[in-house]
Amino acid sequence: MGALGAVLLAAGASERFGSDNKLLTDIDGRPMVRGVADALLGASCVGEVLVVTGHDAPAVEGALDSLEVRFVFNADWRDGMGGSIALGVAKLAASLDGALIVPGDMPFLKPSVSRRVLGRFRERDGGSIVFPATPAGEQRNPVIWPRRFFGLLEGLTGPQGGKRLLIELAGSCSAVLIADETVLLDFDSADDLPAASRARPST
C-alpha cells in the first residue's frame, strides 16, 4: 500500500507572471519546473512522474530533458487546471494507490515533503486525502489523492482544480504540519520572486 504517481502540472500560460513562462524562470541555475521535478524524483517514494503540458509545451519538455518523466499534452489547457488534473490522473498507471498532484511553480519543494505526506497516507491505509498544512492550518500543495477518488478528479474541468473537492471531502482529509512554509511556496507573479528568494530554505 502506498505506491504513488505524481501529476506535475505544467500546462498553464502563467498570465499573471507577464509575457515570460514562469515555469522556465531560472531559480538557482535551473528552470523552476525542473526544480519541482527534481524534488519529486528525489523523493524515491514516487513511482512515476507524469508532466501535463500545454502552453509552450516544447520548451517545458526541453527544460526537463534527460529526467525520467512522462509527458502528456493537454490540448484544452486554456480551459484551466481542472482539465490538466483530470487528464494526468487518467493517464497514471493502474497499479498506483494514489496520485500526488503538484503545481509546477513550487521551486523550493523538498523531497522530504513528499515523504512526509506519503507517511501519513500509509498511516491511514491509503484511504485519506493528505496535504501539507502551514502552522496556521492553511492547506498547501502537493496533495495526495487515494485511488478511490480518481473518478472525481477525472471529472474536473475549468480553472479551480481540486479546491472544491477538498472542501466537499473534508471528512476524508488529513493535514500534515510543515513548519518551514518556504518549501510550500508557489509563484503567481514576477513580483513574488524577490521576497521568495530571500525566504528560501537554506538547505
Q: How far apart are CA 97 and CA 150, in angstroms?
A: 10
> What are the beta bridge partners of residue 27?
30
Q: Are 142 and 186 in contact (CB under 8 A)?
A: no
**Cα-based distances in Å from 143 to 45, 85, 166, 174, 189:** 14, 12, 10, 10, 22
Q: Fill in the DSSP letter of residue 31.
A: E
CATH number, residue 45: 3.90.550.10
CA gap 94, 147 in Å, rounded: 9
Domain region containing 48: 4-199
pLDDT in single tens digits along all 203 residues of the chain: 678 999 999 999 876 665 689 999 999 899 999 999 999 999 988 999 999 999 999 999 999 999 999 999 999 999 999 999 999 999 999 999 999 999 999 999 999 999 999 999 999 999 999 999 999 999 999 999 999 999 999 999 998 889 999 999 999 999 999 999 999 998 876 666 655 555 555 44
Tally of structural domains, the chain: 1
Take residue 57 and report the three cell numbers written for it.
509545451
Query: Between 32-41 and 111-123, two packed helices, what is the crossing angle to 10 degrees?
Result: 50
**pLDDT at residue 200, as a whole number:** 58
- CA dist 164 → 63, 136, 177 (Å): 31, 20, 21
First to last CA, the chain: 31
CA atoms within 13 A on the CB side of 143: 24
Amino acid letter, residue 94: A
Q: What is the pLDDT of residue 201?
A: 54
Alpha-carbon Rg for the chain, nearest whole angstrom, is 16
